Structure 1
Amino acid sequence: MTRQIPSLTRRRYASPWRTLGVRASIAISLLVTAFALLWFDRDGLKDNIDGVVTFADTLYFTMITITTVGYGDIVPVTERARLIDAFLLTPIRLFIWLLFLGTAFDLLLKRVWERWRMTRIQEGLTGHVVIAGFGKNGSTAAAELLRLGLPPARLVAIDCTEEACANARDLGAAVMQGDASRDELLRAVNIERAERLIVSAGRDDTSILIVLSARKLNPTLPIAVTIREEDNEDIAHNAGATKVINPVAVTGRMLAEPV
C-alpha cells in the first residue's frame, strides 16, 4: 500500500473556528439590532393577515427581511418604517450576506485555494534550505539562518511532531510533517533542487538514515548533520554527510580552552 505524502503547509494566522465564532457573534448582534429597530417601530408595520404585529411577528419579519426580500404578509407602511428599512436594515442585510459569503469562502473555497497555493510553492521550491528535525538544534539553526538574511520562503522544515512543525510555521517556514528518511517525502520538498540540508533528528541512526536517503537523491547536496556519539561520526561521513558536528565534543573542546 502506498503511504500518503503529507501536504506542505505554512503558518496560519488565525484559527478557523475562532474566526467562525467571531463572525457568528457579529451576525447575531446585527440580527438583534435589526429586531430591536423593528420592535421599536412596530407600529409602522402592518400585518396583512390579522392586522396585529406581535413579538413573534416582529421576530419573523426580522429574519425574513434580513435573509430575503420578504413575502408581503408584513410590510412597512409609515414613512419612518420605510426609512428605517432603507437606511438601517438594508446595510445590516448586506453586511450579514457578506459575512455568510466570506465564511463560505473561508470554509470551502479557501481550502481549495490553499491546497493549490501550497502545491505551487512546493513545485517552485529551488535553492532552498531543508532542515530535517526541528528540535532544539534545528530551530536554533533556522533562527540563525534567518538572522543572516535567509528569506523565510526559502526555509523548509521537516519533523514528525506537531509541536516542532508549529514552531517552524511561526518562523514563516514551509513545513512538512513526517519522516524525513522517506524518499517520497524528500522528493516532495524538492531535495534535488535544494541548496543544502541540515539534519538534526535527535537520534544518530535516524540522522544517518536521512543522510543516506538525501545523498541518494542528490549526490552533490551539501549536508550538515549533528551526531551525538563519536563512534558514529565516521559512519555519518561514509553515509554522505559533508559536515558532521558532535555537539558534545564541540562543547567539551570549548570548555577545555583556556579562559
Structure 2
Amino acid sequence: MAKGKLRRRLRRFDESLSDQPVHAITDRVQIPSDPVSPGRRITTRVVYALGALFAAVIIVYLDRHGYRDIESSPNPDDPLSFLDCLYYATVSLSTTGYGDITPVTPSARLINVLVITPLRVAFLIVLIGTTVETLTTQSRQVYQIQRWRNRVRNHIVIVGYGTKGRTAAAAMVGDEIAPADIVVVDENAAALERAKSAGLVTVRGNATDSEVLRLASAQHAKSIIVATNRDDTAVLVTLTARELAPNAKIIAAVRETDNEHLLKQSGADSTVVTSETAGRLLGIAVQTPSVVEVMEDLLTPDAGFAIAEREVTPKEVGGSPRHLSDIVLGVVRGGTLVRVDEPDVDALELGDRLLYIRSADAER
C-alpha cells in the first residue's frame, strides 16, 4: 500500500512526457551541437548569396541572345554583354526589376520561370537568414531529439551534475566513453549548460519522476549514476530508476553510512559513501600524503596509472594472477570481486575478469 502511494506521488504529470510530440519537449531535452561563430554565419550567408547571384549571371549569359536591352542597345539583335547579364541578375534577384532588360524568346522565359525564380527565392531566404535560421535551428533540434530517442541504447545516465556528477562524467570521458553516450538529468539550468558545453546530452527535470527518466531513456540505459546532493533524494531516484530499468546497473552516492542500506534496498548495485571516503583520504594524508597522490593517480584514467578491468585470455587460463605481467589487484568471478591473494582465484578460469593497474601514458 505504501509503495503504491509512493508511486502515485512520483507521477506528477497527467500526460506522459515520453508520449508527447518531440517539439513539445525541446525545452527539456538538449542535444549538443558544434557552436558556430556569428562571423562564420554571416560569411556563409554572403557566400550563398553570391553563389545564387553568379549562378543566375552564368545562366543568363549562356542564353544572352534571348534577352533584349530596350534602353541602351541600338540593335535589338545584339546579345547582352557580361556586365548586362550581371546587372539583370542583380536587379532580378533583388526583385527590383526595372524592365529595361527583358527575356523575349520562349527559352529565356522558360529559364526565368524554372531557374531564375527559384534562385530569386533562395536569394531572399539568404537575406532574411536570421528568421530562417531560427526556424531551421528549431527544426534541426526536433530532428536530432527524435533521431536520438530512436537510436539511444546502452548509454549512461547521470542524475545530478554537481561536483560528483561532473567528476564522474570527466572520468568516463577520460576512460574513452563517448560524451554522446552520457545523458545528464538535472533541474539546475547552470549545471545543464555546463554539461551541454562538455558535449553531453541533457534532460531538465526532477529525476524522482519516472517520466523525466523516460525522457533520458533510462529504461534503455546500461548504467545509471545517482549523484544527487541529498541522501533522501538519492533513495527516491534509485527506487524510481530501478522500477523503470530493472536490468540497468545503478551506482549511487550517499553522504552518510547510515543511509547506505536504504540505497541498496531501493535497488542500487553499488554505493559510494562520499563523506567516509573523503575522511579516509584526509586521515591517510596526515602520515603518508604520497599514498593519497598515488590513489588520485589511479582514479584518473586519462593520465599516469589507472585501475582497469579486462577479461582473462585463453592463454592465461589455469595460471595464477600473481604471475602475470600486469599488476593484478583482484579477480571478478561470477560477479564477485575476490582479492588476488585468496586461494580461490589461484588458478584463473575462463570468464574471469582481472582488476589490474594499467599505464595510460604507455597505451598512448
Return the offset for 1:114: 2.1
Q: How far apart are the structure 2 equivalents of 1:219 and 1:10?
A: 26
Q: How far 1:225 sits from its partner (Å)?
A: 1.0
Aligned alpha-carbon RMSD (Å): 3.7
Cα distance in 2 for partners of 1:94, 1:118 equals: 30
Which of structures 1 and 2 has the bigger CA Rg? 2
Would you say how many aligned residue pairs link Structure 1 and Structure 2?
Answer: 214
Which deviations, in whole Å up to 9, do the C-alpha atoms of 1:18-75 show, x marking residues without a partner? Answer: 589958x979xx9xxxxxxxxxxxxxxx9xxxxxxxxxxxxxxxx9666214143899
Matched, 1:136 2:160: no
Q: 2:246 aligns with which of 219, 227, 230?
A: 219
Given the alignment of the two structures, is residue 174 of structure 1 paired with residue 201 of structure 2, yes or no?
yes
Q: Is the 8 A contact 2:158 2:165 kept in 1?
A: yes
For structure 1, the residue ranges without an aligned partner over 5 or more in a row are 31-45, 47-62, 76-92
Aligned to 1:2: 15
Unaligned runs of 5+ in 2: 1-13, 19-24, 51-70, 72-89, 103-119, 289-364
Bigger share in helix: 1
Q: Secondary structure at the match of 2:147?
A: helix
Matched residue, 1:162: 189
User: Which structure dedicates a bigger proportion of its chain to strand?
Assistant: 2
Aligned partner of 2:134 in structure 1 is 107
- What is the identity, as a one-letter code, of the residue corresponding to 1:179? N
1:118 paired residue among 123, 145, 149: 145
SS in 1 for 2:30: coil
Task: Tell me the residue number matched to 2:229.
Answer: 202
CA gap 1:217/1:4 in 2 versus in 1, 3 angstroms: closer
TM-score (norm 1): 0.69
Aligned sequence identity (%): 28
- Corresponding residue SS for 1:202: coil
Which amino acid is 1:242 matched to? D
Higher relative contact order (CA 8 A, sep 6+): 1
Alpha-carbon spacing, 1:11–1:117, altered in 2? closer, same or farther (3 Å): closer
